[in-house]
Amino acid sequence: MVGAEQRLPCRLLAVRVPQEVADQRRRRLREYARKKQVPLKAETLALAEWTLVITKVPEDRLSLREALILLRVRWQVELLFKLWKSHAQVDEWRSHNPWLGQSTALP
């Protein structure tokens, strides 16, 4: 179960990463903590050894291997959107029509 207020059933998928990957993650965490001047918990450094996925998709519909593939693909999609936003300005609105603006709230 996850969630502070609403508890939702889920699956936790975990796979240990190679030592080189864990070391790289720890270096990045230490650098982030140094730049932001925030303390770094030992628990956070320990979790750098794992790739964790939380899902509510049942095991018979999504294996660990498939979940890891989707995680890699999702990251590629995130990078693609970042590229589009920075170079193609897909997040810029060209319309003067307020109904087509960035706000999704109803008037």
Identify whether 6 is part of a domain: no
Identify whether 50 is part of a domain: yes
Instruction: Mean pLDDT check: name the lowest of 18-27, 30-39, 87-96.
Output: 87-96
Contact call for residues 10 and 2 (beta carbons, < 8 A): yes
Identify whether 3 is part of a domain: no
Which helix (H) or strand (E) segment is 42 a member of? helix 42-47
Identify whether 101 is part of a domain: no
State the chain's mean pLDDT as an integer: 89
- What are phi and psi for residue 51, nearest 5 degrees? -105, 120
Contact call for residues 11 and 1 (beta carbons, < 8 A): no
Q: What local confidence, expressed as pLDDT, does residue 101 receive?
A: 55
Identify whether 34 is part of a domain: yes
Q: What local confidence, expressed as pLDDT, does residue 64 receive?
A: 96
User: Residue 2 has which token pair?
Assistant: 């996850």
Could you list the residue range(s) of the whole structural domain that residue 47 is in? 11-91
Q: What local confidence, expressed as pLDDT, does residue 97 receive?
A: 65
pLDDT range class, residue 88, cuts 50, 70, 90: confident
Angle at 89 between CA 85 and CA 90, to 5 degrees: 75
Instruction: Mean pLDDT check: name the lowest of 22-26, 35-39, 73-77.
Output: 73-77
Identify whether 31 is part of a domain: yes
Stretch 61-76: mean pLDDT? 94
Domains in the chain, number: 1
Identify whether 104 is part of a domain: no
Contact call for residues 67 and 55 (beta carbons, < 8 A): yes
Look at the block and give the residue holding tokens 């450094």: 45
